[in-house]
């Protein structure tokens, strides 16, 4: 039986097409050309990153008495972590140095004494304590006492252990310092690599074949550092003074 091409087929196809078209609704648009959502137009807020530096706001966050508690949290947390690290390193070094090791292994362990011998550990930790005293207590806090005595007094009286603990354990605080330390570590290691390559190429400062225990090398390194310092000072004086 022939169906396609008959008059009944064309009539049925036309009706089917009309029924399909009747189910398609036009989509309304808003005045700005965007499509309507949930039966209405919603304002689209376009945010652009600002590259303007609000210097007064930055300085206020760094130096105002109201941020002393933030600064003190950093001092308390990270100086404690550093102190625990140095004490742990000293303990491990003393354990290894007193083990019954072969002469070659013991010599390698003793080389780590450049950092972890008792005197050097005490010096390194003393530097951190000195920086804390002069950088925070006699620096930051004293500055606020001079510039805003009442605000500094109110801020110091308002600091509580609960506030410090909650800040130390907050995700935002830990995430912020993780990013800072990672970036600063990258910069420090890049700088050290550049200085090390310069020292190797010039055969002074601290080359790979030299040891700090060598007295003659110490004098040579000191002379090299003095020459470098004098050249830097001469360059600064020439360009800026």
pLDDT of residue 212: 47
Cα angle, residue 119 at apex, residues 95 and 211 outer, rounded to 5°? 90
pLDDT of residue 142: 93
Distance CA 93, CA 122 (A): 14
Q: Is-contact 136 72, C-beta < 8 A? A: yes
Beta carbons within 8 Å of 9's beta carbon, 6+ residues apart: 3
Distance CA 65, CA 154 (A): 9
Structure tokens at 140: 């930051």
Distance CA 168, CA 126 (A): 24
Which parts of the chain sit beneath pLDDT 70? 1-51, 203-241
pLDDT of residue 198: 81
Distance CA 37, CA 214 (A): 78
pTM: 0.58
pLDDT of residue 57: 83
3-state secondary structure of 53: coil
């Amino acid at each position: 039986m022939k169906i396609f091409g008959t008059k009944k087929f064309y009539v049925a196809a036309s009706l089917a097409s009309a029924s399909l078209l009747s189910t398609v609704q036009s989509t309304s648009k808003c005045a700005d050309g965007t499509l309507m959502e949930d039966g209405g137009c919603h304002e689209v807020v376009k945010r652009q990153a600002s590259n303007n530096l609000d210097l007064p706001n930055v300085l206020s966050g760094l130096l105002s008495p109201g941020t002393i508690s933030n600064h003190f949290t950093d001092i308390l947390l990270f100086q404690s972590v550093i102190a625990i690290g140095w004490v742990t390193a000293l303990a491990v070094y003393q354990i290894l140095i007193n083990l019954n090791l072969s002469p070659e292994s013991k010599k390698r362990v003793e080389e780590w004494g450049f950092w972890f011998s008792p005197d050097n550990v005490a010096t390194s930790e003393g530097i951190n304590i000195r920086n804390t005293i002069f950088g925070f207590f006699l620096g930051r806090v004293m500055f606020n006492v001079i510039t805003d005595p009442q605000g500094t007094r109110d801020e110091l009286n308002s600091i509580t252990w609960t506030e410090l603990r909650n800040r130390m354990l907050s995700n935002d605080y830990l995430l912020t310092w993780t990013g800072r330390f990672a970036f600063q570590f990258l910069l420090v290691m890049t700088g050290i690599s550049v200085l090390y390559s310069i020292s190797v190429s010039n055969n002074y400062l601290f080359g790979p074949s030299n040891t700090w225990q060598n007295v003659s090398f110490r004098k040579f390194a000191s002379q090299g550092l003095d020459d470098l310092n004098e050249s830097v000072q001469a360059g600064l004086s020439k360009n800026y003074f």
